[in-house]
Amino acid sequence: MSNILGIETSCDETAVAVVRDGREVISNVIYTQIPTHTLYGGVVPEIASREHVLKINQVIKKALEEAKMDWDEIDAIAVTYGPGLVGPLLIGVSTAKALAYAKNIPLVGVNHIEGHICANYLEDKKESSEQASQDGGIEPPYMCLVASGGHSHIVRVDDYTKYTIIGRTHDDAAGEAFDKVARAIGLGYPGGPKVDKLAREGDPNAIAFPRASVGDSKYDFSFSGIKSAVLNYLNGAAMKGEEVNKADVAASFQQAIIDVLADHTIQAALDHGMKTVALAGGVAANSLLRTTMKERAEAKGLKFHCPELIYCTDNGAMIAAAGYHEFVAGRRADLYLNAIPNLKIGER
């Protein structure tokens, strides 16, 4: 049995959790900086770094308190070392190194995107969701869509620490497209949850936005075309003095993005002989994406899995889960561990 303390500071959440054996969440503390960054319409890296410095010690302390554990019960410290914003990453990495050294606890470096994927293994007795964990947990191999504010990938998860990228975006990330369209229709930051909510009142077939594919790989994505089509639609209406139905714009845009995300992922799973598809990353919190992926996957005879909502956006539990699998595979970081802002999936 191993208790892993996971530390996540790659963007705008200071998050720490204790997870047992990569699955059982013992504590999960998230301090979100969103209200601070909302003032500026997006994440300001210097402010994010400063907030992490101010909060990290309190968040670690609270995670241990909620787990009712002392340092001698922690078997390893897992920390995100990339990808992400360099300043924020450095706060987590240097804190984790100092603690590992002072408390003489093994240190494991975790890739943030692999962390998002490992959120699929988490079980939380306190939370319940209609979709997650119904099948008693997921095991590799499976095809996973990882869609967040900075990344959109289709990843074949071959084993708990082995990943192969099957598809990627050529321009914007899916979450970035949600955030930009939200800003254009005046919804503010972060846009994803706001588009999700407004879209429920709109007609997804009201406006035909393009479902772009990219020539050289049938699994790759391009979201800048959809985003530009939305901006052109809004500008066109403004020039003609016409009022737009924002809910219809949100619903039609969201449907266009989700059609592409779901169809490419399911096709990749079928072509690679996978029996299960999974979701990960902040966009995996999208209610229509969750139901659409489930319906379309099951229609093709595939099993579907997604993390509980709280584990889709950035958190420490997913880092502890990924760290656990690295730890049992024997991987250790030393005190030279550095932040790598553009760390790639599968890179060690």
Other Cβ atoms less than 10 A from the Cβ of 115: the count is 27
Let me know: does 207 contact 51? Beta carbons within 8 Å. Answer: no
Applying CB under 6 A, among 313, 325, 333, 343 the residue interacting with ligand KG4 is 313
The interface partner of residue 122, options being Zn ion, ligand KG4, none and the CB cut-off 5 to 8 Å by kind, is none
Looking at the Cβ atoms of 19 and 119, the one nearer to ligand KG4 is 119
Let me know: does 91 contact 9? Beta carbons within 8 Å. Answer: yes
**Of residues 58, 41, 22, 100, the one with CA closest to residue 318:** 22
The interface partner of residue 178, options being Zn ion, ligand KG4, none and the CB cut-off 5 to 8 Å by kind, is ligand KG4
Choose the stretch contacting ligand KG4; rule: CB under 6 A; options: 130-138, 187-195, 205-213, 263-271: 187-195
State yes or no: residue 114 binds Zn ion (CB under 5 A).
no
Which 8-state DSSP code applies to residue 69? -
The interface partner of residue 114, options being Zn ion, ligand KG4, none and the CB cut-off 5 to 8 Å by kind, is none
State yes or no: residue 175 binds ligand KG4 (CB under 6 A).
yes
Choose the stretch contacting ligand KG4; rule: CB under 6 A; options: 15-23, 91-99, 279-287, 321-329: 279-287
CA-to-CA separations, 107 to 24, 65, 220, 258, 338, in angstroms, rounded: 20, 21, 35, 38, 12
State yes or no: residue 42 binds ligand KG4 (CB under 6 A).
no
Applying CB under 6 A, among 314, 325, 337, 339 the residue interacting with ligand KG4 is 314
Choose the stretch contacting ligand KG4; rule: CB under 6 A; options: 120-128, 228-236, 277-285, 330-338: 277-285
The two tokens of residue 282 are 């902040």
CA-to-CA separations, 174 to 8, 254, 284, 307, in angstroms, rounded: 21, 10, 10, 18
**What is the x/- site pattern for ligand KG4, positions 4-33, by CB under 6 A?**
-------x----------------------
CA distance 21 to 162: 18
Looking at the Cβ atoms of 176 and 314, the one nearer to Zn ion is 314
Is the bond into 141 cis (omega within 30 degrees of 0)? yes
CA distance 171 to 162: 25
Let me know: does 152 contact 174? Beta carbons within 8 Å. Answer: yes
State yes or no: residue 190 binds ligand KG4 (CB under 6 A).
yes
Beta bridge mates, 79 = 7, 109
Applying CB under 6 A, among 42, 45, 141, 150 the residue interacting with ligand KG4 is 150
The footprint of Zn ion on residues 122-151 (CB under 5 A) is: 148
- Minimum CB separation of residue 101 from ligand KG4 in Å reads 28
The interface partner of residue 175, options being Zn ion, ligand KG4, none and the CB cut-off 5 to 8 Å by kind, is ligand KG4
State yes or no: residue 193 binds ligand KG4 (CB under 6 A).
yes
Which 8-state DSSP code applies to residue 141? S
Choose the stretch contacting ligand KG4; rule: CB under 6 A; options: 65-73, 160-168, 188-196, 293-301: 188-196
Choose the stretch contacting ligand KG4; rule: CB under 6 A; options: 20-28, 41-49, 174-182, 291-299: 174-182
Applying CB under 6 A, among 114, 179, 220, 248 the residue interacting with ligand KG4 is 179
Question: b or e along 237-254 (b: 16 or more beta carbons within 10 Å of the residue's beta carbon)?
Answer: eeeeeeeeebbbbbbbbb
The two tokens of residue 292 are 């659409």
Contacts of 81 (CB under 8 A, 6+ apart): 89, 92, 93, 109, 110, 111, 333, 337, 338, 339, 340, 343
Applying CB under 5 A, among 192, 314, 337, 343 the residue interacting with Zn ion is 314
Task: Using CB under 6 A, list all residues that contact ligand KG4.
Answer: 11, 148-150, 175, 178-179, 190-193, 196, 281-283, 285-286, 313-314
